[in-house]
Amino acid sequence: MEEGKQVLVVSRDETRGRNIVNKLFGDSFSGEIIRANTIREACGVITKSSVDALVMDPQALVRAATVKVADEKFVPSKGNAKQDLMYVKRYIQKNCDRHMKLEELAQLISVSPNYLCHLFRQYEGTTVFEYMNQVRLERAAVLLRSTDSKVGDVAKKVGFAYPSYFCRKFHGRYGRTPKQYRLAHLIRRDGGGEKEEDGGKKE
């Protein structure tokens, strides 16, 4: 696919989404990958942005076809750490718009906070709060692309209490401020190519 093209991939896992795109378009793919966690998020992106291709993670399709109530009674698996961790991750994804304590998350699977941190380091290669911020920032990126909400409102919607902290973390992940990120996608959607303002990095 040509440089500068946008591919929207529906997948909850960033690495898995990238791998799917590479399998379809080749490892030399140089376009931009826009990721949405759910089909609903993808629809929001499509209505506001111009994407060149839509790629669906088969797991996302299965989840959409077998929707379960996230707040249902959960019985910890007996020794299946990956399954327990998946439940915590889904809980974070569903509740990322509010403050969550480590103790609250650990209680979900009846383990200690320290052991939950160990599980995240072992299977995710990151900390609980880094994963939480990753989910929030990815949700924020979708809102910036698909809505006209103010940056401060976007920060609150995804669980950041302080807009300044949100902007700093967003810049650290995406290489540009939220306003620059939104502007870049507006320019591309309107046919402006790769031109950007305010010193934003090119993707």
The pLDDT value given to residue 195 = 41
Of 31, 29, 35, which Cα lies nearest the Cα of 16?
Answer: 35
Residue 1 lies in a domain: yes
Regarding whether 90 and 51 lie in a shared domain, the answer is no
Last residue of a domain, one of 92, 125, 158: 125
CA atoms within 13 A on the CB side of 20: 22
Which structural domain, as residue segments, surrounds residue 76? 68-125
Report residues of the chain scoring pLDDT below 70.
Answer: 1-4, 47-48, 58-78, 188-203
The pLDDT value given to residue 203 = 37
User: Helix 128-146 crosses helix 163-174 at what angle (to 10 degrees)?
Assistant: 90
CB 38 within 8 A of CB 64: yes
Classify residue 202 by burial, with Cβ atoms within 10 Å: 0-12, 13-18, 19+.
Answer: exposed
Residue type, 36: A
Regarding whether 47 and 80 lie in a shared domain, the answer is no
Q: Other CB atoms closer than 10 Å to residue 129's CB: what's the count?
A: 13
DSSP state of 175: S
Q: What is the pTM of this model?
A: 0.62
The pLDDT value given to residue 201 = 41
Regarding whether 11 and 30 lie in a shared domain, the answer is yes
The pLDDT value given to residue 48 = 66
- For the chain, what is the mean pLDDT? 80
Rounded CA-CA distance 181/49 in Å is: 13
Residue 161 lies in a domain: no
Regarding whether 85 and 50 lie in a shared domain, the answer is no
Regarding whether 76 and 113 lie in a shared domain, the answer is yes
Regarding whether 60 and 1 lie in a shared domain, the answer is yes
Regarding whether 92 and 44 lie in a shared domain, the answer is no
Last residue of a domain, one of 20, 40, 67: 67
Regarding whether 74 and 52 lie in a shared domain, the answer is no
Regarding whether 60 and 103 lie in a shared domain, the answer is no
Q: How does pLDDT run across 51-87, given as a tens digit for each residue?
A: 778 887 766 654 554 444 444 555 666 678 888 999 9
Regarding whether 119 and 63 lie in a shared domain, the answer is no
